[in-house]
């Protein structure tokens, strides 16, 4: 008589861990829910980059050309020139714009965009990790780590535009790429369309797409699948066609962060950025680079123990190298397909970013620029750590808890700052405008005066308070005195010229440089209105 069947030890262990994985998934969902409700009540904020995008959207609603905004002609500020905004992708305003079209205000549209993109990205990562064969507990913990980090919480408080949209699309693009890996003509067209979507979401999405396709081809070349040459040629032709189209339809129409790369070669960046480009994908998993920047650099003035981020990554290079070796050795045995693709993807992406940095591209060295690679690496790191001995596992868990607490704490701090800031009539919070200044603006400046007028704002999103008014941004707080002298010069006069500047820039002399940028206006002719943290200067003809 055969023995009574019993559950294997491994299967029983898997069943025991299933409720734990489910509980962790619920906790991850609660994190998104808490962040969403909190920011829906208080109101999200945004940076000037995203403010520019929404100004473009407003211009388009008034009948302006696609992705362009009117700017005063430096030779005559009474006239406008249409300026194609190539520096940022249109996805940052198109997605919230869809919710605005449904009747939501801008603050609500941003909240919905961030919440839905966050959930969509995590769900996509779940399916991506599962496609590589990782167990439920590893997947659940990885998603909790991703949702608990500072990069995740920050996007709820400060809308990062294309970054959160790219986060939502990345796992789904990789899943599509694996499904279309034969690169038949029809599949190549699908991947081509997917690259376009990534690029519209954020320009760096093109870098991710190129690195992913290149990594897939590198892995393919090492396999024994027939038709390798055909797939390689098809992928190369597809990327070449997309590159030509991108050059003609986008790059040729305006400046981007890489526009002046060929003109500015920075050999010193080979030392300060090459190694960090390989380190940052790993530090982005838990926002370690951001944590070190917050603790070792002054958060406002950029001075402290160090004044650049490069030393953080150089210091972390050795521990990250040990981590990569340890994880690679573990994952190579358990998940070889994942290891091969991820190793190739990390190397190719880091090399592309190194080339951008060395050639002078205006892209900062930060965790957020490597986040899409970090979420791919995260599952391998977590799974390898879970297989370690208890002391090492406990130490890694302690580090993770500290950094997850940092992510949650910074979110609370940001909410407190939002509450103290002025709230826009569009439902979002201003970063640099107090409620006192907001009340004055809404009472006195929202209606355009008779005749021609121009209003100068210190940050682009403030311009959203003045629908129909002509706006120009001069971010004095983020420019050096030399930049203000050389970068801004305007001629001509309008019936009413108003200049909003941050009061701290009045004290440090930058406000005077903003005023002198208007060459045909006497310095002694300005009327000054203090508004707390904002000062308003005005002058007529």
pLDDT interval class at 34 (50, 70, 90): very high
- The enclosing H or E element of 245 equals helix 228-249
- What's the mean pLDDT in 237-263? 84
Q: Check if the beta carbon of residue 132 is closer than 8 Å to that of residue 337.
A: yes
Q: Check if the beta carbon of residue 348 is closer than 8 Å to that of residue 211.
A: yes
pLDDT at 155 (0 to 100): 93
- pLDDT surpasses 50 at 304: no
- pLDDT surpasses 90 at 253: no
Q: What percent of the chain has a predicted confidence (pLDDT) above 90?
A: 60
How does pLDDT run across 410-419, given as a tens digit for each residue?
Answer: 999 999 989 8
Average pLDDT, the chain: 88
Q: Check if the beta carbon of residue 462 is closer than 8 Å to that of residue 51.
A: yes
The partner residues of 535 in beta bridges, in order of sequence, read 501, 530
How does pLDDT run across 447-474, given as a tens digit for each residue?
Answer: 777 778 899 999 999 999 888 788 999 9
- Greatest mean pLDDT range, 180-194, 273-287, 362-376, 394-408: 180-194
The residue assigned the tokens 């990782």 is: 134
Q: Check if the beta carbon of residue 27 is closer than 8 Å to that of residue 144.
A: yes
- pLDDT surpasses 50 at 299: no
- The enclosing H or E element of 328 equals helix 310-334
- pLDDT surpasses 80 at 12: no
Question: Using CA atoms, how far apart are residues 152 and 121, in angstroms rounded to an integer?
Answer: 11
DSSP 409-420: HHHHHHHHHHHH
Query: Which tokens belong to 482?
Result: 């030399």
pLDDT interval class at 263 (50, 70, 90): low
pLDDT at 1 (0 to 100): 42
pLDDT at 17 (0 to 100): 62
Kindly list the distances between the CA atom of residue 91 and the CA atoms of 50, 205, 240, 279, in Å, as whole numbers in the listed order. Answer: 10, 11, 23, 28
- pLDDT surpasses 50 at 303: no
Query: Which tokens belong to 237?
Result: 């032709």
What phi, psi does 392 have (nearest 5°)? Answer: -70, -40
- What's the mean pLDDT in 276-302? 77
What phi, psi does 88 have (nearest 5°)? Answer: -120, 155
Query: Which tokens belong to 153?
Result: 């919480």
How does pLDDT run across 342-385, given as a tens digit for each residue?
Answer: 999 999 999 999 888 887 777 788 888 999 999 999 999 999 99
What phi, psi does 67 have (nearest 5°)? Answer: 55, 30
pLDDT interval class at 261 (50, 70, 90): low
- pLDDT surpasses 60 at 39: yes
A 10 A CB-CB count for 25 gives 17
Select the more confidently predicted residue: 57 or 436.
Answer: 57
pLDDT at 297 (0 to 100): 62
Helices (H), 430-493: 435-444, 481-487
pLDDT at 183 (0 to 100): 93
pLDDT interval class at 239 (50, 70, 90): very high
- The enclosing H or E element of 405 equals helix 390-420
- pLDDT surpasses 80 at 18: no
How does pLDDT run across 91-144, given as a tens digit for each residue?
Answer: 999 999 999 999 999 999 999 999 999 999 999 999 999 999 999 999 999 999
The sign of the dihedral angle between the CA atoms of 307, 309, 311, 315 is: positive
Select the more confidently predicted residue: 320 or 263.
Answer: 320
Which of helix, strand or coil describes residue 83? Answer: strand
Question: Using CA atoms, how far apart are residues 476 and 502, in angstroms rounded to an integer?
Answer: 8
By mean pLDDT, which of 44-58, 292-306, 331-345, 377-391 is the weakest?
Answer: 292-306
- What's the mean pLDDT in 260-282? 77
- The enclosing H or E element of 502 equals strand 496-502
């Amino acid at each position: 008589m055969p023995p009574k069947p019993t559950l294997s030890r491994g299967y029983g262990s898997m069943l025991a861990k299933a409720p734990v994985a489910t509980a962790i998934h619920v906790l991850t969902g609660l994190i998104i829910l808490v962040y969403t409700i909190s920011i829906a009540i208080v109101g999200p904020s945004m940076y000037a980059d995203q403010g520019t995008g929404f100004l473009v959207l407003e211009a388009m609603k008034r009948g302006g050309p696609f992705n362009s905004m009117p700017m005063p002609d430096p030779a005559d500020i009474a006239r406008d020139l249409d300026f194609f905004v190539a520096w940022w992708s249109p996805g940052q305003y198109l997605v919230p714009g869809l919710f605005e079209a449904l009747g939501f205000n801008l603050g609500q549209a941003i909240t919905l965009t961030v919440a839905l993109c966050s959930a969509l990205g995590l769900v996509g990562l779940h399916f991506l990790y599962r496609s590589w064969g990782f167990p439920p507990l590893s997947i659940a913990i990885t998603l909790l780590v991703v949702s608990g980090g500072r990069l995740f919480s920050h996007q709820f408080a400060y809308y990062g535009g294309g970054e959160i949209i790219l986060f939502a699309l990345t796992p789904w693009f990789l899943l599509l790429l694996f499904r279309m890996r034969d690169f038949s003509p029809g599949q190549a067209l699908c991947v081509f369309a997917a690259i376009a979507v990534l690029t519209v979401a954020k320009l760096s999405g093109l870098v991710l797409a190129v690195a992913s396709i290149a990594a897939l081809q590198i892995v393919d070349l090492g396999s024994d699948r027939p038709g390798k040459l055909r797939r390689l040629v098809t992928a190369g032709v597809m990327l070449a066609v997309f590159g030509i189209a991108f050059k003609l339809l986008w790059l040729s129409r305006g400046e981007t962060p890489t526009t002046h790369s060929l003109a500015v070669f920075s050999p010193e960046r080979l030392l300060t950025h090459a190694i960090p480009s390989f380190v940052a994908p790993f530090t982005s998993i838990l926002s370690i680079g951001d944590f070190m920047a917050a603790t070792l650099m002054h958060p406002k003035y950029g001075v402290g123990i160090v004044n650049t981020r490069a030393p953080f990554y150089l210091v972390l290079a050795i521990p990250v190298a040990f981590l990569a070796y340890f994880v690679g050795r573990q994952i190579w045995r358990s998940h070889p397909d994942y290891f091969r693709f991820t190793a190739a993807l990390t190397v190719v992406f880091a090399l592309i970013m190194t080339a951008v940095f060395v050639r002078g591209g205006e892209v900062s060295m930060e965790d957020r620029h490597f986040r899409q690679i970090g979420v791919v690496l995260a599952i391998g790191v977590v799974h390898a750590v879970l297989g370690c001995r208890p002391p090492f596992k406990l130490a890694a868990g302690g580090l993770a808890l500290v950094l997850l607490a940092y992510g949650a704490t910074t979110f609370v701090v940001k909410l407190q700052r939002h509450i103290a800031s002025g709230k826009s009539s569009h439902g979002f919070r201003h970063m640099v405008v107090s409620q006192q200044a907001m009340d004055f603006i809404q009472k006195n400046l929202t209606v355009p005066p008779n005749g021609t007028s121009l209003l100068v704002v210190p940050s682009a999103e403030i311009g959203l308070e003045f629908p129909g008014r002509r706006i120009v941004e001069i971010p004095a707080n983020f420019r050096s005195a030399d930049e203000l002298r050389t970068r801004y010069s305007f001629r001509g006069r309008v019936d009413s010229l108003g200049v909003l500047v941050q009061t701290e820039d009045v004290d440090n002399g930058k406000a005077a440089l903003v005023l002198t940028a208007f060459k045909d206006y006497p310095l002694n002719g300005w009327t000054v209105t203090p508004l707390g943290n904002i000062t308003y200067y005005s002058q007529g003809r």
